[in-house]
């Protein structure tokens, strides 16, 4: 099956710093999604990417769909305390009748005020 | 309405109990999903419904029984659960299984005693 490697596993940053996390796969994906999950809550969709090379922003968040279709990154600029949470990447390969999402293991972000 | 709602928020049950989790969406989505999430892990897919028909069952034990009464509702019936079934149960929906931008509900925190 497809596997996603998400890094880093965790990070501690100062408020105001920029953050970068990424996901890589051994297989190609047609769609990349980035989610944020707060403790005890469901994941919230942050950004969806559909085309290789696509760069999309949502406020202070920017995500890119890698040219090889095997990777994606998420950047957060000027971090604030409410950015704390677990960030998951998820990829979908629409081939051979399979449409399920494959999730990365998550990046736990801590922001020090 | 861009929300997926889930009830109850918390559920504690004994191993001999029968209970149900409920999920509702009014976004006109025709794909709905049940996931199980353990602490510090990504969501694990359990079931997929496409146009109210079960299309994927990820080898889930029969003590979990899904039901999709109509295009807006998804239930998960629970019977004779084990303590290791304690987890956050997440419902999600997407426009179609082939358009997999999934929106998650807040989850039901299940504790099996």
Q: Are β-strands A10-14 and A107-112 bridged in parallel, bridged antiparallel, or unpaired?
A: parallel
Best A33, A39, A43, A105 member to test B by mutation, with max B CBs in 10 Å, is: A43
Q: Is A94 on the interface with B (CB under 8 A)?
A: yes
Contacts A45 to B, Cβ<8 Å: 101-104
pLDDT of residue A23: 97
pLDDT of residue B97: 86
pLDDT of residue B89: 98
pLDDT: which is higher, B8 or A26: B8
Contacts B4 to A, Cβ<8 Å: 42
| Each residue's pLDDT tens digit, B26-68 | 999 999 999 999 999 999 999 999 999 998 888 899 999 999 9
pLDDT of residue B56: 83
Tens-of-pLDDT digits for all 113 residues of chain A?
567 999 999 999 999 999 999 999 998 999 999 999 999 899 999 999 999 999 999 999 999 999 999 999 999 999 999 999 999 999 998 766 667 899 999 999 999 98
Q: Find the CB nearest B97 among A31, A88, A99.
A: A99
Say what percent of chain B tops pLDDT 90.
Answer: 87
What CA–CA distance (Å, rounded) separates B4 from A87? 20
- Average pLDDT taken over every residue of chain B: 94
Q: Is A68 exposed, middle or buried (0-12, 13-18, 19+ CB in 10 A)?
A: exposed
Strand, helix or coil at B85? helix
Which tokens go with A97?
């009748």
- Distance of residue B44 Cα from the nearest chain A Cα, in angstroms: 8
Strand, helix or coil at A82? helix
Contacts A39 to B, Cβ<8 Å: none
SS3 content of chain B, % helix, strand, coil (to 5): 5, 60, 40
């Amino acid at each position: 099956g497809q596997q996603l490697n998400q890094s880093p596993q965790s990070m501690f940053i100062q408020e105001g710093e920029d953050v970068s996390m990424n996901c890589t796969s051994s297989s190609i994906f047609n769609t990349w999604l980035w989610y944020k999950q707060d403790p005890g809550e469901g994941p919230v969709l942050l950004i969806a990417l559909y085309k290789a090379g696509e760069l999309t922003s949502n406020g202070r968040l920017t995500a890119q769909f890698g040219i090889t279709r095997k990777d994606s990154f998420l950047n957060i600029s000027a971090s604030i305390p409410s950015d704390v949470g677990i960030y998951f990447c998820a990829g979908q390969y629409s081939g051979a009748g399979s449409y399920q999402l494959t999730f990365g293991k998550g990046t736990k972000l801590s922001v020090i005020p | 309405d861009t929300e997926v709602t889930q009830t109850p928020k918390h559920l504690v049950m004994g191993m001999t109990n029968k209970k149900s989790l409920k999920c509702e969406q009014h976004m006109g989505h025709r794909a709905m999903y049940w996931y199980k999430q353990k602490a510090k892990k990504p969501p694990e897919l359990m079931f997929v419904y496409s146009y109210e028909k079960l299309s994927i069952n990820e080898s889930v034990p029969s003590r979990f029984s899904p039901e999709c009464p109509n295009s807006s509702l998804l239930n998960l019936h629970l019977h004779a659960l084990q303590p290791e079934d304690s987890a956050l149960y997440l419902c999600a929906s997407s426009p179609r299984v082939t358009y997999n931008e999934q929106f998650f509900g807040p989850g039901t925190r299940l504790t099996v005693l």
